[in-house]
Amino acid sequence: MAAPPILLLQDIRLGFGTTPLLAGATLSVSPGERLALIGRNGSGKSTLMKIAAGLVQADGGTRFVQPGATLRYLEQEPDLGGFANVLAYVEAGLAPGDDPYRARYLLEQLGLSGEEAPATLSGGEARRAALARAMAPTPDILLLDEPTNHLDLPAIEWLEQEIGAMRSALVLISHDRRFLETMTREMVWLDRGTTRRLARGFAHFEEWRDTVLEQEEQEAHKLDRQIAREEDWMRYGVTARRKRNVRRVAELAGLRQQRRERRAAQGGVRMAVAEGEGSGTLVAAADNVSKSYGDRTVVRDFSTRILRGDRVGIVGPNGAGKTTLLSMLTGTLPPDSGEIRLGTGLAMVTLDQRREALDPNTTLSEALTGRRGDQVWVNGQPRHVIGYMKDFLFLPEQARTPVSALSGGERGRLLLARAFATPSNLLVLDEPTNDLDLETLDLLQEQIADYSGTVIVVSHDRDFLDRVATNVIAWEGDGRWQDYAGGYSDMVAQRGHGVRARAEPARGGAAPSAAPKPAPAVPPAARKKLSFKDQHELETLPARMRKLEAEAAKLKEILADADLYSRDRARFDKATELLGKTETALAEAEERWLELEMLREELEG
């Protein structure tokens, strides 16, 4: 029998203006469930999540949370105002009895010390602090809205392991396919204000969604045909049977009302890349190029060849120098040494991850036309800006909307619309998948696949790289970069591991000069004290060892019964197995405690 839900939203209704955003949505979360909340940008996913968190009041419907259940919510734009530093903000989310060391551990893993002042944080740092605050208490229900935004690949893979080890129920909004496949076991699809649930993993979602939409289309076709038959009868088949006629007239009115109220599935993004004249066979060549900033070398003696038609992915942790390498390969940044040679006839279009190419004071229409009338030129043909906007899921009434009022996803689509309207044979995409929904990502991948020019892309999206890249340039540490054939998974297979985290220097110090080792992340000689995680482990291990010793003693007492084997063979076998596991765990704990104690003495002495 399934466990009763600890969170239940039922028949949730909410409207903004004349069109309802939520029209009877339902969400049920039982202990330990891992749910993905899927839907288009603007479908109401974040709003439904805020209603679940108790931050937004619905117009109708019911919200129920089991008494005593703890719930934590990661919002997209956290407010750290009123806190002295980041650690105080995270610790404020802890409840009595929660482990205070977990706050420091999570911040350390997410690249924050805890001493940062909230006013000095970037948007990405504030999001990482909010993620630490949500996860620190290990709540019964964890609501995460785009947790991988502003995280690099090592942090995303660490987050997968950390959440996987938690006992919390999970409701997740994300556009990272690989993350969804790893973290969730059931899907809740929010579409046109209502929800549907699939008790299978994300790998089955798109096939199921397409089946549902196909069935809807068939039912709509049947309804239209039935209305046509009834209208034909109204015109030619009226008889003296008044009662039946009145009933049929009423039924026809009902059918017409049903068709008026039917919310059609939202159309897809229609992308077409405006391609320029072909470039030469060689697009870019790097010969032993290096680049340094102060004492830190971000690119060291790197060589590669990029040919026409290549799709090159660049991967590495935040701060490794991906954007620097990209700028060198496209000729916008000169190397300190070595040579960069660019091919002939290049027409380059760049998609900037920071959206800096958008003037927040212009309107959506002006951003597309360049303030030159109401026409957009695509592949040498003029198109009215309203029609081109519709291709990227913008409504006609949004034409005069300021860019500053657009959501992150809408700004991403606007940049794609501008980039694809410009003739090019070289697309340079710096984090193009940020804030894009799954359908838009699918179409972007298809356009890149059909594009006859060359593509260079920086991305933390593993699935996107697997679908798009023909080769991957990966950071190896100490300014070294290596070219691998294939996508991200192919790179992992060739090198034996994914992208590792960059070892951070001491605050205010120089960057490390050697590639980071898997463990420890910082060499003991460079440490001044144990990490928060190691300190916590050192303090808690003695209690764990005492507990294991007590368990082993109890099992030995049971096995001391000379008649146990003949009287209860099953109990004897079970006790023997448990004793072996307990003694192994005790030996490992003692060895780990000794290792940490020696490390502490070395650092202090």
Annotated binding site: 39-46, 316-323
User: Rounded to 5 degrees, what are φ and ψ at 348?
Assistant: -100, 140
Q: Which 8-state DSSP code applies to residue 237?
A: -
Instruction: Output the known binding site for ATP.
Output: 39-46, 316-323
285: which residues sit within 8 A by CB, 6+ positions away? Answer: 304, 305, 306, 339, 340, 341
Could you give the CA distance from residue 143 to residue 7 in angstroms, rounded to a whole number?
Answer: 11
Q: Which two tokens stand for residue 560?
A: 């001391």
> Residue 196 pairs with which residues in a beta bridge?
189
Specify whether the CB–CB gap between 281 and 307 falls below 8 A: yes
Cα atoms in the 13 Å half-sphere on the side-chain side of 434: 24
109: which residues sit within 8 A by CB, 6+ positions away? Answer: 155, 158, 162, 533
Could you give the CA distance from residue 509 to residue 516 in angstroms, rounded to a whole number?
Answer: 16
522: which residues sit within 8 A by CB, 6+ positions away? Answer: 503, 504, 531
> Residue 456 pairs with which residues in a beta bridge?
312, 428
Could you give the CA distance from residue 103 to residue 101 in angstroms, rounded to a whole number?
Answer: 5
Q: How far apart are the first and last CA of the chain?
A: 58
Whole-Å CA distances, 61 to 9, 48, 191? 7, 12, 18
Could you give the CA distance from residue 485 to residue 474 in angstroms, rounded to a whole number?
Answer: 11
Q: Which 8-state DSSP code applies to residue 499?
A: P
- DSSP of 508-573: TSPPPSSPPPSSSSS-GGG-SS--HHHHHHHHHHHHHHHHHHHHHHHHHHHHT-TTHHHH-HHHHH
User: Rounded to 5 degrees, what are φ and ψ at 283?
Assistant: -95, -50
Q: Which 8-state DSSP code applies to residue 41?
A: T
Which residue, chain included where needed, has tokens 């929660």?
A: 98
* Count of C-beta atoms within a 10 Å radius of residue 393: 22
CA nearest to 352, candidates 323, 332, 328, 311: 323
Q: Which 8-state DSSP code applies to residue 268?
A: P
Specify whether the CB–CB gap between 168 and 143 falls below 8 A: no
> Residue 195 pairs with which residues in a beta bridge?
190
Could you give the CA distance from residue 178 to residue 463 in angstroms, rounded to a whole number?
Answer: 6
Max Cα–Cα distance, the chain, nearest Å? 107
Specify whether the CB–CB gap between 355 and 406 falls below 8 A: no
- DSSP of 64-121: EE-TT--EEEE-SS---TT-SSHHHHHHTTPPTTS-HHHHHHHHHHTT--S---GGG-
